[in-house]
Structure formats: structure tokens, C-alpha cells
Amino acid sequence: MLPGFLARAVELLLGREGRSLHLKAAGTATAVLAVVMLLGSWAVVAAEDGARGANLKTYPQALWWSIETATTVGYGDFYPVTPVGRLIGAAVMVVGITTYGMVTAALATWFVGREQRRRHHLAHGARELGEETTRALHERFDRLERMVAGKDERD
Amino acid sequence: MLPGFLARAVELLLGREGRSLHLKAAGTATAVLAVVMLLGSWAVVAAEDGARGANLKTYPQALWWSIETATTVGYGDFYPVTPVGRLIGAAVMVVGITTYGMVTAALATWFVGREQRRRHHLAHGARELGEETTRALHERFDRLERMVAGKDERD
Amino acid sequence: MLPGFLARAVELLLGREGRSLHLKAAGTATAVLAVVMLLGSWAVVAAEDGARGANLKTYPQALWWSIETATTVGYGDFYPVTPVGRLIGAAVMVVGITTYGMVTAALATWFVGREQRRRHHLAHGARELGEETTRALHERFDRLERMVAGKDERD
Amino acid sequence: MLPGFLARAVELLLGREGRSLHLKAAGTATAVLAVVMLLGSWAVVAAEDGARGANLKTYPQALWWSIETATTVGYGDFYPVTPVGRLIGAAVMVVGITTYGMVTAALATWFVGREQRRRHHLAHGARELGEETTRALHERFDRLERMVAGKDERD
């Protein structure tokens, strides 16, 4: 049920084909992070169950742990102590910082694009200048042809 | 009183209409982070009040906690233990890393813009070259017309 | 054996000469981070061995410590207590955040490049416009020459 | 003595006038971070001296603390407990993440610049195309003038 619901959410989020790469990448990474945190919290409780010194015992605790792990805060009030639990923790960390890197890079791309659109107007101006020049040169040809043709008629 | 004061500060910070998107975004994010930290510190003390194992008991302690949480340092000397307190903590974390991402992206946009302005001079040079070419071609037309007209007069 | 194997892996990863700088830099940084984590985990156990209050005692523990250190999570369940151990820890931290910065910057470069390729099509269009203009002007010359030559023949 | 030595190091690092903004900014931030960490470590030991529950007692401990604070690892083995100590800690955190943001943004600018230089060759090609077009048009004028002048002579 959950994966089906999530697949639909991802589809909704990423459905529009024309969207830019950086928006798609940041959206996908955020969706993947949400799945990894929700499933990882459940899995880490199962992995730690019964281990000596285990402190991740309930799903709400594990959700809080996944938030402070994905954001790299890591207070140390909760942490995995089993090999499998630590593998899950490593996955949450890596997906968390990758998502954060993608969002930062997407923000930079958005900002840079906005700044360049302003400069693009200048490039557009240069293009219009070129069209004006072309029109002026054609007018000179028209006038020269009339001059040559005028002489012709008078001959 | 505080929100009014803050609204004015935000207005002052973001007042100039023509400012670039990346400066506005980084400024807004920093202002939002300051509000979330100041209000969150107060709210987390209220939320944790009387809970078993609570360690966030005074506003100064909570302010220090909000700083080490927003910067994702997280020593573990203070952390929320109630669901509401953890929700506030999650908000401080997410707003903190988002602000940091915005500032990094704004810095990148600023640096990239400065580098491109140097290259823009080259584009400007190309434009001037085009204007010079146009002037030269018009002079050729002038000369040719004088030649054709000169023949005309002599006829 | 290990360095030889790693050198080959790095070679494989970075072998293609034509690759962009940002891909090479992010790939090299990730490979260096992997080496620093694998060797650092072994070195920190050796450095901490027998020290008072030492908690990094086995290689699996040290590997987990290197992961939470490189990602800057830092729960505080494991940490070095000797000068040499802390030097190794500082190396893992610095290489970790540098790698992460390189990956974020490489992502931003990739995203910006994709956005600019779309705009490049516009620049390409402007170039084609220039070629069309040139062709039109040559046709005007051809017509004018025929006019002048035609008069010539009739004379 | 130290400030004088550091001022000279900063001067050496930032001396070349023509250097790009992003290199200057990343270099300055790194130098400022080094100063804040070295002075902050000394100041935090002085601030914490004699406080109840203080754990930052020696300069080497404080240096290690400043490294794990600036990189936002924050194991929790050392942390300030006095208002002044926490103010110093906040400064180390903020300068640390700002430096890291500057370095990441400078890396992105470097990568983007390298990618654009490849595209700049294309723009350069377009410029050469324009010069070739101009030369061709001038040759057409030369030929046309010879035609008009040739008729003139035969008349």
C-alpha cells in the first residue's frame, strides 16, 4: 500500500515532462529521502531489537533519530549499535547529505538562471541590432538599383 | 510587538524592488531562520516543561541549543525529549540547512556573475565590431553611389 | 595490495581524458575519501590502543565512526581521545566536507550546463540568422552586377 | 606577534590584485576561520575556567573542540557551558559553515567557468565567421566598383 501510494506521489511530483533537470533531481532526491527515512526508521527498530545497549526501541524514537541523522545534527541521544542498524544509519546519512547537496545545487542553478535571463535581454538586443543593420543594407541596395535602373531608362 | 518589529526589519532588508532573486532569497531565509530560532527556543522550553528527562529548561539554554541545532553541530548537551519539542527541533534543523543552502547558492551566483561580467566585455567587443562593419559597408555604398552618379553626370 | 588495487580503481574511474573537470574532481575526491576512511579507521584503532578512556577499539567500530565523522553527524558514541587519533579524525572531517562540497559543486555545474544548453540553441539560431543575412546580401550583389552588366551589353 | 604573522600570511595569500573574487573570498574565509579557531580555542579555555561542569580545560582539548565544531561534527565530548564560552562556540560554528559555503561556491564557480570556456570557443568561432562575411562583402563591392568603373572607361 505504502510503496504504491509513494510511487503515485513521485509520479505526481515528477510527472511534467518538460521540467528542468535540476528541479527533477531535487524533487526525486527529496522523495527518495522521505522513503529512506520512513522505511529506515522501521527497519532500524527491527535490526536493533534485543541488542545489548540498544536505545532505538520505538518507531517515534526512530523517526526522530532519522531526522537528526539526515540533517547531520546527531545529538547522540539515539544511535544504532548493531551492524545492520549502522548500515541503515549510513544509508540515511548518505541519502540525506546527497539530497541536501542536490537542493543547494538546484537553488544555485535557479539563481544563476534568473541572473542570466537579465543578460539574455542584452544578447537579444544585439540580435535586433543585427536585423536592423540587415534592413539598412537592403535599403542601400534598393536605392543603388534604382540609380542604375534610372540611368538605364534615360539612356 | 516582536512580529511587528521583525516585519519592519524584513521590510528594510528586502525593501529594494530591483534586488536580485538570490539576494532576496538568502536575506528572507536568514530572517526566517532568526525568527524560527528565537520563537522555537521559547516554544521548546514550554513544550519540554515537566517532561521526564527534559534538559531544555531555560531560555538561554534553549537559545544555545537552537544555535547548535541550526548549524547541525548537535553536541548532545541539550536535546528535546517530547514529541512537540522534537517537532520544533526538526523545524529548526530544516530551516537551518535550507538557509545555509540558500546562502551557499547565493554566494555561487554572486561569484559566477562576477566571472561572467569579465566575459561579457568580450561579447560587448563583438557587438562593437558589428557596428564598425556596418559603418564600413555603408561607406562602400556611398562610394559606389557616387561612382554611378558621377558617370550619370558626365553622360 | 590494497594501494595497488585502489590505484587501479582510481585509474578506471578517472581514465577517460576528455572528461569534464567537475566530474574528475568529484570522482577523485570520493576515491580519496574512501581511502582516508578505510586507512583512517585502521590507523585510529592503532593510535587509540591502550589509551585511558579510549572507545575506538575494533575496526568495525572505527569504520562506523569514520562514516558518522565524514558525514559530520557525530553522535558521540565513538570519538578519538589521543592527539594522533584526533589528527586522523580531523583529516577524515576535512576530507569528508571537502568531498561533499565538490559533489555539490559538480551537481550545480551539471545542472547549470543543462540549463545553458537550452539557451545555446538560441545562440545557434542567431548564428544561422547571420548566415541567412549574408546569403541575402550576396544575392543582392548578384542582381546588381547583372543589372550593371546588362546595361553594358546593350550599350 | 601572532596577529602580525597572520596579517603577513593573509597578505601573501591575497596579494595578487588580479585574482578572481571567488578565490579571494574563499582564501579570506579560510584565513579568518584559522584565526577564529586559534584565538577561539584560547578564549574558550579562559571563559570556561572554573565554571561548574566545565570540560574544556586545556588548549589542545580546545583546539580539537574547535575542529569538530567548525566542521559541525560535534561529538559532544567537549562543549562550552558558560555564556561567553557559548558565544565563542557560536562564532566558530558560523564562521565554519560560512567558510565551507564559500569554498563550495568557489568550487562551483571554478567548474562552471571551465565548462563555459569550452562554449566560449564556439562564440569565438561565430565572431570569426562575422569577420569572414565582412571580407566577402567588401570583395563584392570591389568587383562591382571595377565593373562600374570598367564601363566608365570604355565609354
Is the pTM for the entire model greater than 0.80? no
CA atoms within 13 A on the CB side of C25: 22
Portion of chain D with pLDDT greater than 90, in percent: 58
Subunit contact B21:A111, Cβ cutoff 8 A? yes
CA distance C67 to A92: 11
User: Quick check: C123 pLDDT over 90?
Assistant: no
Which one has a higher pLDDT value, C138 or D77?
D77
- Best interface-test mutation with A: which of B111, B131, B133, B141 has the largest number of A CBs within 10 A? B141
Which one has a higher pLDDT value, D19 or B64?
B64
Nearest alpha carbon to residue C61 among C47, C78, C46: C78
CA distance B12 to B69: 27
D75: which chain B residues are within 8 Å (Cβ-Cβ)?
75
pLDDT value at residue B133: 74
Which residues of B fall below an 8 Å CB-CB distance to D?
Answer: 60, 64, 67-68, 71-77, 100, 103-105, 107-108, 110-112, 114-116, 119, 122-123, 126, 129-130, 133, 136-137, 140, 143-144, 147-148, 151, 155
Contact D100, B103 (CB under 8 A): no
Question: In sequence order, what are the residues at sequence separation of 6 or more whose Cβ sits closer than 8 angstroms to the Cβ of residue D22?
Answer: B111, B114, B115, D105, D106, D109, D110
Q: What is the CATH number of domain D2-154?
A: 1.10.287.70
User: Quick check: B85 pLDDT over 70?
Assistant: yes
CA distance B146 to B154: 12
pLDDT value at residue A124: 55
pLDDT tens track for A30-67: 999 999 999 999 999 999 999 999 999 999 999 999 99
CA distance A72 to D89: 18
Nearest alpha carbon to residue C137 among B120, D133, B79: D133
Average pLDDT, chain D: 83
Please report the number of interchain residue pairs, chain A to chain D, with beta-carbon separation below 8 angstroms: 10
CA distance A47 to C58: 21
By Cβ distance, the residue of D72, D76, D105 closest to A76 is D76
DSSP secondary structure code for residue A155 in this structure? -
Element (H, E) at D106: helix D83-154
Subunit contact C109:D104, Cβ cutoff 8 A? no
pLDDT value at residue C68: 95
Which one has a higher pLDDT value, C22 or A120?
C22
How many Cβ atoms are within 10 Å of C136's Cβ, its own excluded? 13
Q: State the SS3 of A36-85.
A: HHHHHHHHHHHHHCCCCCCCCCCHHHHHHHHHHHHCCCCCCCCCCCCHHH
Contact D136, C138 (CB under 8 A): yes
* Local confidence band at A134 (pLDDT 50, 70, 90 cut-offs): confident
Average pLDDT, chain A: 83
Per-domain residue ranges for chain D? 2-154
- For residue C124 the three cell numbers come to 545557434
Portion of chain C with pLDDT greater than 70, in percent: 76
Taking the CA of residue D20 and the nearest CA in chain B, the distance in Å comes to 7
User: Quick check: B5 pLDDT over 60?
Assistant: no
D112: which chain B residues are within 8 Å (Cβ-Cβ)?
112, 115
Question: In sequence order, what are the residues at sequence separation of 6 or more whose Cβ sits closer than 8 angstroms to the Cβ of residue B29?
Answer: B95, B98, B99, B102, B103
User: Quick check: A74 pLDDT over 60?
Assistant: yes
pLDDT tens track for A2-15: 456 556 555 555 55
pLDDT value at residue A36: 97
For chain C, how big is the Rg over CA atoms in Å?
31
Ramachandran category for residue C74: left, alpha or beta (phi over 0 → left; psi -120 to 50 → alpha): left
Contact A130, C130 (CB under 8 A): yes
pLDDT tens track for B97-124: 999 999 999 999 999 888 777 666 555 5
Report the sign of the C-alpha dihedral through residues D17, D23, D26, D31, in that order. Answer: negative
* Local confidence band at A90 (pLDDT 50, 70, 90 cut-offs): very high
Portion of chain C with pLDDT greater than 90, in percent: 57
Question: In sequence order, what are the residues at sequence separation of 6 or more whose Cβ sits closer than 8 angstroms to the Cβ of residue A122?
Answer: B120, B123
pLDDT tens track for D51-108: 999 999 999 999 999 999 999 999 999 999 999 999 999 999 999 999 999 999 999 9
Question: How long a stretch of residues is chain C?
Answer: 155
Least confident of A18-27, A76-85, B43-52: A18-27
How many Cβ atoms are within 10 Å of C138's Cβ, its own excluded? 14
User: Quick check: C128 pLDDT over 60?
Assistant: no
ipTM over 0.85: no
* Local confidence band at C1 (pLDDT 50, 70, 90 cut-offs): very low
C97: which chain D residues are within 8 Å (Cβ-Cβ)?
71, 100
How many Cβ atoms are within 10 Å of B101's Cβ, its own excluded? 24
Which residues of D fall below an 8 Å CB-CB distance to C?
Answer: 60, 64, 67-68, 71-77, 100, 103-105, 107-108, 110-112, 114-116, 119, 122-123, 126, 129-130, 133, 136-137, 140, 143-144, 147-148, 151, 155
